[in-house]
A = this chain, B = another copy of it.
Amino acid sequence: MFSGAQVSLYPMTDNFVGIILQAIDALEPYRSTFRIETDDISTLLVGPPDQLFPAMRDLFVAAAGQGIHCVLAATVSRGCPGEPDDPICTPINDSSHEKPLAERIAMAVERVSAAPKTGQIVAAQFSLYPLGSGHHMDEIYGCIDFLKQSGVFDRSKNFCTKLRGDAGPVFATLSEAFLRFGSPQGHVALDLKVSANSPTAA
């Protein structure tokens, strides 16, 4: 298993460098868990799939908490076949894929309800891509059922799904969708944008 994300943070302010440098401190607790590399476009996180969304949540809430309009964009992947297995990327803990779909949906909803609130309201938009063979359409429809029950479902849009709510349950919902559906060893990619403090938010 190889899992990780290419993550970018876009603060819509003249002081974007300052906001990014301050927000990136929020990744400190994750530095022992992840390999982290930055270039001019994105920051690579390679590590355990179930820590990816908590790390992105903490990074984003640290930036958005400064009050400016900002967006996090990420390309998240697990089971990428072009990459060697990396011991830093442990298998998904407690994925419970052996349980029936209805039971897993209920577990995912419960985890989202239990997610700690952050006090930061966000809007998120994402597309989930099950790649290669071995993914059953039942799993995809099950994931959609889960999203509609998550409490943060906003609406389906062309090419993507939109969520809205506190960053805690929103990132928990994204994490559950990424981890608990589709083949546990299959290749899954997720294309994500999360926005806060937009002047045009509904």
Contacts and interface: CB of A to CB of B under 8 A. Distances in A.
A124 B13 CA distance: 22
Contact of A195 (B6, B40, B77, B129): B40
Contacts of A202: 39-40
Interface of A: 4-6, 8, 10-14, 16-17, 39-42, 44, 46, 69, 71, 73, 75, 77, 80, 83, 123, 125, 127, 129-131, 133, 157-160, 162, 189, 191, 193, 195, 198-202
Given A159-B77, A189-B129, A40 B6 contact: no
Given A6-B159, A44-B157, A77-B158, 8 more contacts: A6-B158, A14-B14, A40-B198, A41-B198, A75-B159, A75-B160, A83-B158, A129-B189
B44 A158 contact: yes
B8 A11 contact: no
Q: Report copies per complex.
A: 2
The 8 A-B pairs of least Cβ separation, nearest first, read: A10-B10, A12-B16, A191-B191, A40-B201, A40-B200, A40-B198, A77-B159, A41-B125
A189 B157 contact: no
Contacts of A75: 127, 159-160, 191
B17 A193 contact: no
Nearest to A41: B125
Nearest to A131: B129
A157 B8 CA distance: 14
A150 to B, nearest CB: 18
